[in-house]
Amino acid sequence: MKPYPIQARPWVQILFLLVVVFIGARFYLFVSYIEKGEVPDFQRPAGVEAFLPIGALVSLKHLLYTGTINRIHPSGLVLFLMIIFTALVAKKGFCSWVCPVGTLSEYVYRGRRLLFQKHFQMPAVADSLLRALKYLTAGFFLYQIFYRMPVDTIEQFIQSPYNRFADIHMLKFFTRMSATAFTVLTSLVVLSILFRHFWCRYLCPYGALLGVIGLLSLGKIRRDPSRCTGCGRCEKIAQA
């Protein structure tokens, strides 16, 4: 009997999810020490800057115009460029193998089987309109940052108190969550249970950007209709 191949992707997903949880916990402790007026005996985890994509876009424009990496959240820009590079090599490999939001969304959807077996399908018209949202959102930020913001405004934003403490603002969004934020996140969880990868498919501007860049990817999968056997495995995997 042919042995069942070991699936590497779930293990890679879990590994990166644990890394993100570790970084988040470490950053929470770091901020807690600072708020108590104590000096932490460990450094702030630089990986937390991966969750500051707008700041990374601003830093990218600053890099293109000045040739230097600014000292405010430099790791965010480095991580952003690494993710862009993965899109050029493996298209949306980051989304399906690394992104913790994508991992949680995938397993939340699989958990729907505990509630019901029915597979919900987004109507075709709604699917097309909703898919446009993430591209419009990504386009809005790219337009505002790379076209509307002059270099001096970029510099002001980078040095602003808001940008300097953007990582702490992000942390407080979760630790001091408002009723509105809780309602939005709960709604996203429910929609992710009903519709596979709801956030990734319809709302994630990061995924939209990687999708566009992925059009130039060296690792694109090309379907050859002449070799299709009609086995249906593609459809089964897409609905898993």
- What per-residue confidence (pLDDT) applies to 65? 92
**CA dihedral of residues 153, 158, 164, 168 (deg, nearest 10):** 90
- What per-residue confidence (pLDDT) applies to 104? 94
How far from 195 is each of 61, 111, 203, CA to CA, in Å? 36, 12, 13
Dist CA 102 CA 14 (whole Å): 11
Dist CA 119 CA 112 (whole Å): 9
Q: Tell me the whole-structure pTM to 2 decimals.
A: 0.85
- What per-residue confidence (pLDDT) applies to 4? 46
Domain boundaries, the chain: 8-217
**Chunked mean pLDDT (size 10), the chain, 240 residues:** 64 96 97 94 94 94 93 94 92 91 92 78 90 95 94 94 95 94 94 92 93 82 74 60
Q: Are 56 and 77 in contact (CB under 8 A)?
A: yes
